[in-house]
Structure 1
Amino acid sequence: MIVVSSCLAGLRVRYNGTDCLNDNVEKLLKMKEVKTVCPELMGGFSTPREPAEIIGGNGYDVIDGNAIVKDASGNDVTQMYIDGAYKTLEFVKSVKAEIVVLKENSPSCGSSHIYTGFFDGTKKEGVGVTTAILRRNGIKVVSEEELL
């Protein structure tokens, strides 16, 4: 079983109400048994919603209490990201996923890069909150960019 970010599978759940259907994921959907998940929706967000970025670190720092997630208006939405990450972990375990493919650059799902927290479009090395939770629990997480 493979779990994929809902937006990568073509569902319009991104912050701005769009999807980001990916060719590699589309091929995967045709070949394997795939379940979809959106950690942000699982955390209680709706679509559309304001974009958010991690301030002061990465996903590991957020779950350790050393960084926060804020939306573009400055609202602290950290707990919703943490809640969504833990609900995603429960889901991934319940379907016995071998691998999880999450959307790169997302404050939830980034697996090697996230935005810097300045809301200026720049990125840095780091992981999102959900990726951090999943990896700390021994679950393999990759991005759509790592699929071949």
Structure 2
Amino acid sequence: MVVEKVLISACLLGKQVRYDGNALSVSTNILDQWIASGRVISICPEVDVGMRIPRPPAEISQGDGYGVWAGTASVVESAGLDVTAYFKNGARMALALCRKYAINVAVLTDYSPSCASSAIYDGSFTGSKIDGVGVTAALLKKSGVEVFNQHNIEEANQVLQRMSR
């Protein structure tokens, strides 16, 4: 039986890497089993590419992660600084990990401008959310990785089980 690796957002694993210096810890039996079996590869695209903790909040303006890759959207910090290049480089690092470890499933943090798989903040810094994906999630999805968020770990596990057969 092949043990498939899974890419996980570091903040979901309790690492204090979010923009505000906090974690977004998730605790499930499935995640515990993944960790115990050595399946988990951890990443924080922003921190791994050199962004500091804490850092100003960032949101995608004029679209989502797919728009960032198409050149029609950008990632900006609350004070207006364009940090798109950091987010794209972080996404490339995540994809490199997926290729290195033959990862086909990722569980990433929803609402993040990097990791969101279903909804992001709308770029207005008002707390409004829209349907969309982050920069890393978009690149991984375009490259064939199935991306889930912290709310659907069970679905990710079902996919991993099918792949391990």
TM-score interval (norm. to shorter): over 0.9
Q: Look up the SS of the partner of 1:4 in the other structure.
A: strand
Structure 1 length normalisation: TM-score?
0.95
For residue 31 of structure 2, the aligned residue among 29, 32, 41 is 29
- What is the aligned counterpart of 1:9 among 6, 13, 17? 13
* Paired residue secondary structure (2:141): helix
Counterpart CA distance in 2 for 1:46 and 1:133 is 23
Shift of 1:98: 3.0
Q: Secondary structure at the match of 1:12?
A: coil
Q: 2:114 maps to what in 1?
A: 108
1:45-56 correspondence runs (5 A)? 45-56=51-62
Kept in 2: contact 1:42–1:83 (CA 8 A): no
Aligned 8 A contact 2:59 2:122 in 1: yes
Report SS of the residue matched to 1:145.
coil
Where do 1:33-112 residues align within 5 Å? Answer: 33-112=39-118
Q: Is the 8 A contact 2:118 2:133 kept in 1?
A: yes
Identity of aligned residues (%): 39
Match for residue 161 of structure 2? none
SS of structure 1 residue aligned to 2:151: helix
Q: Normalising to structure 2: TM-score of the pair? A: 0.85
What is the CA-CA distance between 1:95 and the residue it aligns to?
A: 1.4
1:128 CA displacement: 0.2
Distance (Å, rounded) in 2 between the aligned partners of 1:108 and 1:43? 12
* CA–CA separation in structure 1 for the residues paired with 2:130 and 2:109: 15
Q: Structure 2: which 5+ residue stretches go unaligned? A: 155-165
